[in-house]
Structure 1
Amino acid sequence: MLNRKKPEIVDAIVVGLGANGGTAVKVLAEAGLKVVGFDRGPWLRPLEHYSGDELKFVNRDYMWPDPKMFPRTVRYDENAVAERFPFSPLPQMVGGGTNHWAGWVPRPRESDFMMRSLHGDIEGASLADWPFRYEHLEPYLTKVEWAFGVSGIAGADKYEPHRSKGYPSPPLRPTQYGKRFYDACNKMGINAFPIPHAMVTNKHNGRDPFNQTSFWNQYGDPSGARSNTLTSFIPEAVATGNLEVRAECFVQSVKLGRDGKATGVIYIDPDGNEVEQDARVVILTLGAIESARLMLMSKSPRFPDGLANGSGLVGKNATFHEYLFAVGLFDKDIDEPLNGFAGNYISGGSLEFYETDESRGHIGGSIISASQTCHPINWVFPGRPTWGEALKDADRNYYNYAMKIGLILHDLPVESNRVDLDPTVKDAFGLPVARITHSPHRNDIAMGKWQVDKNVEILEAAGARKTVPVYLDKMTGNTCHQHGTARMGADPAKSVLNEWGQAHEVDNLFVLDGSGFPTATGVNPTLTMMANAWRCSEYIAEVYSKGREERLVLSNSMR
């Protein structure tokens, strides 16, 4: 390994160019800051590299981290030995998770920002309020929806909080299984609506709509209709002349100066050379697992337990959601086919059961959504035979006659649920991999069971002849949602970051992914993450980089 000449210092480094890093580089570059963006993976070209090839994208892990080169380990008991498992994988490439996602982007609720104020201390959990409120984030939710491209109907969700503007694109048309869901919800008095999607259905910012297929979840989209920072925010940032993208570069540590400020990063370039890049600001946007890992690996005499980790909280309070669901099976000799391959993966959802109703036996709630059962080869049917005539009969009878109603579990933060460094397992560079320790809180189990059972009721009202519930057993990371490992807060003893995603102990270090979430919320987190990344990047460009400081003080009415 060679040491190359150190490049010139830049205004900002952004490590990880997914949803949040892509947002950060856009805001910073358009504000005139000189930025270098790093990503471990390649810079792909959608028209050349993406398609609807199921084997390529689902079975051969085309976009996913190689589990032999970049493993993770997980354990479900403090005393257990962690085992290798691809827990919460994200595509490691320019564009990150926006390359593979289904793209549902509902807004958070006002209650999400003040769970501790609403519910107090919950035994076994570590609830905390956010250091800002929905009203502070709302303008940035709107900015992302319009700049990125989101389809939906303002007001269709009767529980939606204030929004300053509608959606730039009309919603996706309902699928056959979506119509079943809407009919059932109407019978039961449940408010159902088209879930907002990061998809354009009209001409938007030079992008054209296309004939939707349900197989874009887990696949790269070659058309550009699905919103992806690879094809939107990052090219826009490059066009300013202020962003340099360094793909296939692995950042292995953040450097710290004698004054306690981050001075830059050390990375391995595509040729295997070790290179230092200095910057006035360092921003981490690798996702809550890898951002925590990088901070824990960046040890120094000042921070022997990891960068900005004087509180000991880096990696702790990790939340991951979990996708739970119920499958409904229909009769091919009686019912109309659902044709799950047509339309879009998600079609119709509800937040009817989102807010706390203590009669259900838990606090909080989750978004629910109707979907097909995925891919022709890898479709979701719990109990599906695995071989021979029985497998063929099950596929003939049910593939076109199955749907599911899922939920995004609003799991509670628990301090001992965490990411740390595995003491024995190393990655391809010889560095310790992330080890996840997690045990569900009893509220998670109760919420998951209650909502799955309600989803069964909706499926039965939709005409399903048989239902198969899937409850929470343990966290598998199947949503690829990650939060909480460097939580935001006002008190440096109880949090890692302040309200701007700025480390309490290293003031030019910002972490602008889901790591900062004090609580998980019960909706898909990407829109909230991107809006917060925009908000904090704007603060960096307009306030911090000009030598000023601002603090957000919540009024008593907001507490």
Structure 2
Amino acid sequence: MTTKRNPEPVDVVIVGAGAGGATAAKVLTEAGLKVVGLERGPWLKPEHASGDELKYLNRNFIWQDPKLKPRTYRQNDQEEAVITNFSATPQVVGGGTTHWGGMVPRMAESDFKLRSLHGDVPGASLVDWPITYDELEPYYTRVEWEFGTSGLAGANKWEAWRSRGYPTKPSPLSQIGRTFATAMAKMGHSTFPMPQGMVTEPYRGREPFSENGFWQQYPDPGTGKSSTLISFIPDAIATGRYDLRSDCYVSEILVGSDGRATGVRYQDEDGDEFVQYAEAVIVCGGGIETPRLLLMSTSSLFPDGLGNGSGMVGKNATFHQYSFSVGLFDKEIHDPLYGWAGHYMSLCSFDFYETDESRGHILGSLIFPSMIGHPINWSFPGRPSWGPAAKDADRDFFNHSMKIGMLLHDMPVESNRVDLDPNVKDAWGLPVARITHTPHANDFAHERWQVAKNGEILEAAGASKVIPVNMERITGNTSHELGTARMGDDPSTSVVDRWCRSHEVPNLYVFDASFFPTATGINPALTIMANAWRCADRILQVDRHDWKKR
């Protein structure tokens, strides 16, 4: 490794180019600020994308390689942490929006005030958000129209008010979606088209997506799937004020003697080390890598990690475990479901989202149907793993199976956290993230109730066999990492303020899902982007004038 001449200082350096980082880059550069983006992974081009299942699902093409970038996990402080690929997350330009299924429902109004609704829950650290749905709504709308989304306004009877509909219509129902809708109606429940991060008709020079099941976990070679890679990043680059550098690994956020951030230290793809100086630093590494970076950034002013005087960095981690019920259908009775044809997830329901304490738990989740899996990796509990029996199972059930899934609305618990493993280092010699997590009792109650309900829906759909797939522990199987740099008004119990600015470092910001005070029962990406836009507006209107006074 050699140290070369440092690049010129800029207004803002952003660590990460996913949902939060790319949104901030677009807003700030379009307003005239000079921004450098540092992304840990590569910059994929359309020719890198395909439906190659082995490449994307089995060979770590966009997923972090656990041999180079391991993480460790333990359930509690008494256990020895073990190396595991916990919450495998794409580290590429575009971040999780390159691989995602594109689910973009809005948060419910109740999500912002869970402590007011439920009080102090024993063993949990439930809080209200310091902002409301009304404050975020204009930014939800901006993202939906600038990013490119599809949906049907008013179709979700549980949705809060919205100032505008969706820019493109919903995707056509798949056979799995129709089966789900029929069963839900039979049981007296409602469904609505899944709001999606994609365009279903020509929109701003983009063409609609290819309607096939090879969507989740795959980059899109076209322009149908909305990702920051093909939307906000090109917008920012077009300004001439966004310098995005891929394959750059940030190891430290630097601070001056006045306690303000001065920039970041990073290595480029050749292993050369640089310091990028800036007036402000925005961290968007995700709910595991962001606290890791803050904790690695120690100094005489911040011996316990940057912005960690409260000791709250890394705490209150939540991960949205995905659980589901599988339904197998008799091919002699039912038409094929053809999960690989039609969009991956075209329908969903909010009927079980709001709290109903008669279920034996509080909180709830979005539910949605999908195919079980792609041809090589598809499976279900009890499926033979080899020989004629495995082939028979493939013939009988690959086109006659589906699942109904849920995202766990997991409780924040202060002791569930991300910190630095004292014993394990990555390929660059830096301490890896250690995850300590035990689900709250409400998590188990919620998950088991909803998976059982999903099984009832499959039975109503005519499944001859229903198989529940329940969690035993949190594995990070959604790549959703939330809550580890909690937003709040009280510096003693949170890491950033209502503008996602560090309570202790006035020009340091966190714009990924680390800021979430509590989890939700939906995918976080739309809220990450809307909040990043909201906070970037605040930077432009207020904060940047303070930077220039120094």
Q: TM-score, normalised by structure 1?
A: 0.97
Q: In 2, distance between residues paired with 1:188 and 1:300? A: 60
Shift of 1:546: 2.0
Q: 1:92 matched to which residue of 2?
A: 91
Alignment of 1:386-401 (within 5 A): 386-401=385-400
Q: In 2, distance between residues paired with 1:319 and 1:493? A: 20
Q: 1:2 matched to which residue of 2?
A: 2
Say if 2:535 is the partner of 1:511: no
Q: In 2, distance between residues paired with 1:334 and 1:361? A: 36
| Contact 1:215 1:374 (C-alpha < 8 Å) held by counterparts | no
Q: 1:360 matched to which residue of 2?
A: 359
Q: 1:555 matched to which residue of 2?
A: none
CA offsets per residue over residues 517-547 of structure 1, 9 Å max, x none? 0100111111011100111111112221123
Shift of 1:548: 9.0
Alignment of 1:205-216 (within 5 A): 205-216=204-215
Q: 1:175 matched to which residue of 2?
A: 174
Q: 1:74 matched to which residue of 2?
A: 73
| Contact 1:345 1:374 (C-alpha < 8 Å) held by counterparts | no
Q: Partner letter of residue 232 of structure 1?
A: S
Alignment of 1:281-296 (within 5 A): 281-296=280-295
Shift of 1:473: 1.0
CA offsets per residue over residues 156-195 of structure 1, 9 Å max, x none? 1001000000000100111111101000111111110111
CA offsets per residue over residues 318-370 of structure 1, 9 Å max, x none? 00010010000001111100001101111211010111111111111000001
Q: In 2, distance between residues paired with 1:116 and 1:375? A: 40
Cα 1:518/1:210, change in 2 over 3 Å = closer
Q: In 2, distance between residues paired with 1:128 and 1:548? A: 31
| Contact 2:198 2:209 (C-alpha < 8 Å) held by counterparts | no
Q: In 1, distance between residues paired with 2:295 and 2:342? A: 43
Say if 2:416 is the partner of 1:411: no
Say if 2:32 is the partner of 1:32: yes
Q: Runs of 5+ in structure 2 lacking a partner?
A: none
Alignment of 1:203-242 (within 5 A): 203-242=202-241
CA offsets per residue over residues 279-321 of structure 1, 9 Å max, x none? 0010000101000000000001111110000000000000001
Say if 2:374 is the partner of 1:375: yes
Q: Runs of 5+ in structure 1 lacking a partner?
A: 550-559
Shift of 1:277: 0.7
Q: In 2, distance between residues paired with 1:487 and 1:50? A: 35
- 2:214 aligns to what SS in structure 1? helix
Say if 2:316 is the partner of 1:317: yes
| Contact 1:420 1:436 (C-alpha < 8 Å) held by counterparts | yes
Alignment of 1:175-194 (within 5 A): 175-194=174-193
Q: Partner letter of residue 59 of structure 1?
A: N
Alignment of 1:336-485 (within 5 A): 336-485=335-484
Shift of 1:18: 0.7
Q: In 2, distance between residues paired with 1:305 and 1:88? A: 25
Q: 2:41 matched to which residue of 1?
A: 41
How many residues are aligned here? 548
Q: In 2, distance between residues paired with 1:498 and 1:383? A: 49
Q: 2:255 matched to which residue of 1?
A: 256
Q: Partner letter of residue 67 of structure 1?
A: P
Q: 2:264 matched to which residue of 1?
A: 265
Q: TM-score, normalised by structure 2?
A: 0.99
Alignment of 1:292-307 (within 5 A): 292-307=291-306
- 1:167 aligns to what SS in structure 2? coil
Q: 1:488 matched to which residue of 2?
A: 487
Q: 2:56 matched to which residue of 1?
A: 57
Shift of 1:382: 1.9
Shift of 1:211: 2.9
